[in-house]
Amino acid sequence: MKLAFVGVGGAGTRIVDRLLAREAETDRTVSRGNAIVFDTAEPGDAFRGVEHVPEECRVTFGDVHPDVGPAGTGGNPDLGVAAAREDVYELRRAFDALEFTDVDGAVLVAGLAGGTGGGAGAVLLEELQEVCDDPVYALAVLPSADEPAGRALTAARSLQSFVRIADNVVCFDNEAWDSEIGPLEDLESRTLSYEESVDADAESTDDSSPAVDADADADADSRGPSSDVASDDPDAEDDSPPHPYETVNRAAADRLLSILGAGELESMTIAENRIDASDVARTLETGGVSTIGQATLELEQRQRAPDWLPVPSWLPASFRGWLTDSPEDSGPTDAARVKDLVQRAVESRLTVPCAVDSADRTLIVLSGPPSSVSRKGFESARHWLEGEADTVDVMAGDEPRDAAELTATVLLSNVTEVPPVEAVQERALEALELLEDRDGRKSTANADDAAGENEFIW
């Protein structure tokens, strides 16, 4: 698929940056630089960890809104919405930098728990739907369980908006990937007024909750040790530790590109069953929440001829391949290996954990040397997934590429049993009750909203 990427807020901008980096590293031509990122934070605080998005494609907004602070909206989605609506003409103008005529769709990336990502992200999704005739997808990040309750409330509300506006929302659950996230030392101190109002009470009833310092510096960096990454001194960058989210952002980017970018390779040989943009679009057509799993198999390097023996170029390609050091399959067990690989992808750490049999449609992409993709294995993997996902809607295709490994990536579309979403909604409800009990005020969202029973909340 040819796509335009739009990143919103801290998480969104960093993940789009990773998408661009991985696109180049894997020789894919998905966005070809057709990308833009937005944030509300002040320059210097915005776009931390962003390296590959050109300066002219980094847009800040909301700076004239009196409640937007130097570090952004402080997790308040209503403020994110208000700031985006106020600056909507500037945001629309910024979209002019994107190419929408020669694409198969657009992808908006955001952290659902951010006031900018979740709140302004919903407004930008609406705007994208206006300007893009093709599907608009979202990659949306769910917060970790140890983040302040206010963040869960923001995420629950934002997810509802995203699902309604986007054509499909691929979720990435930070909690499921928590072991790969670096230390976010000042997570507690970055709770701002919006979250304090929820979390101060949570603290009094739950000793395990992170302490909230009401006098915490509201300008504290909301992105952990990343403050070191983007210091004002340009020379400091090289010695800085990687951003705490670097590994998970790469995992998210790799999985998304393997599905949405399947078949978009700089150089690609003929495939018997090549995947194309319409297969991916058809799988995502279901709407709802989707998830991606991936597994890789290192292929054996077989050296049949000694290094010093020249291999004549006039030999048929198949015979040359047999003589040279090329990764390939090893005979009758190939089919079982391919099936096993697909099975491992489905059972791997998904971008968001779910009940596989709740998926509506699925897509398998096998990427690797054509010689390693056993037709029989492919078919039996497909058959296995039909049973597992309890659907006959299993699309499958390959992406032939010169690689020393074979990668299976599986997209499970419109999954309806997603424990992390349920957990976020439960925490959101608790947060709402605390808010209402304490202040005796009605929040802009109600309990039904957080549980996802109302369609749209802004």
Ligand X SMILES: Nc1nc2c(ncn2[C@@H]2O[C@H](COP(=O)(O)OP(=O)(O)OP(=O)(O)O)[C@@H](O)[C@H]2O)c(=O)[nH]1
Residues binding ligand X (CB under 6 A): 9-11, 14, 39-40, 72-75, 111, 113-117, 141, 143, 147, 151, 172, 174, 222-223, 245, 248-249
Please report how close the Cβ of residue 143 comes to ligand X at its closest, in angstroms. Answer: 4
CB of 223 to ligand X, least distance (A): 6
CA 10 – CA 114 distance, rounded (Å): 8
Q: What is the 3-state secondary structure (H, E, C) of 205-229?
A: HCCCCCCCCCCCCCCCCCCCCHHHH
In the complex, minimum distance from the CB of residue 383 to ligand X, in angstroms, rounded to a whole number:
34
User: Is 321 within any annotated ligand binding site?
Assistant: no
Helix, coil or strand: residue 305:
coil
CB closer to ligand X, 65 vs 151: 151
Tokens at residue 413, please?
């579309």
State yes or no: 7 annotated in a binding site.
Answer: no
State residue 66 phi and psi, 5-degree precision: -60, -25
Output the six-digit token pair for 124. 């930008």
Nearer to ligand X by Cβ, of 141 and 394: the residue is 141
Closest approach, Cβ 73 to ligand X, in A, equals 4
Residue 446 labeled ligand binder = no
Q: What are the angstrom distances between the C-alpha of 417 and each of 275, 390, 400?
A: 28, 13, 33
Secondary structure (3-state) at 116: helix
Give the span between the Cα atoms of 411 and 399, in whole angstroms.
15
* Least distance CB 238 / ligand X (angstroms): 20
Distance CA 194, CA 67 (A): 11
116 annotated as a binding-site residue: yes
Eight-state DSSP code of residue 120: I
Q: Cβ distance 328 to 321 under 8 Å?
A: yes
Q: Which of residues 289 and 406 has its CB atom nearest to ligand X in the complex? A: 289
- Distance of alpha carbon 357 from its chain centroid, rounded? 22
CB of 289 to ligand X, least distance (A): 16
Look at residues 368, 396, 399 and name the one whose alpha carbon lies nearest to residue 381: 396
Sequential DSSP letters for 9-39: HHHHHHHHHHHHHHHHHTTB-SSTT-EEEEE
Q: Give every CB contact of residue 375 below 8 A, 6+ residues apart in sequence.
A: 272
Would you say 273 is a known binding-site residue?
Answer: no
Helix or strand or coil: residue 349?
Answer: coil
Q: At its nearest, how many Å lie between ligand X and the CB of residue 34?
A: 21
Q: At closest approach, how far in Å is the CB of 91 from ligand X?
A: 15
Q: Report whether 430 belongs to an annotated binding site.
A: no
Whether residue 138 contacts residue 162, with contact meaning beta carbons closer than 8 Å, is answered with: yes
- Decide if 399 contacts 268 (C-beta within 8 A): yes
Which residues are annotated as part of the binding site for GTP? 115-117, 147, 174, 249
Which residues are annotated as part of the binding site? 115-117, 147, 174, 249
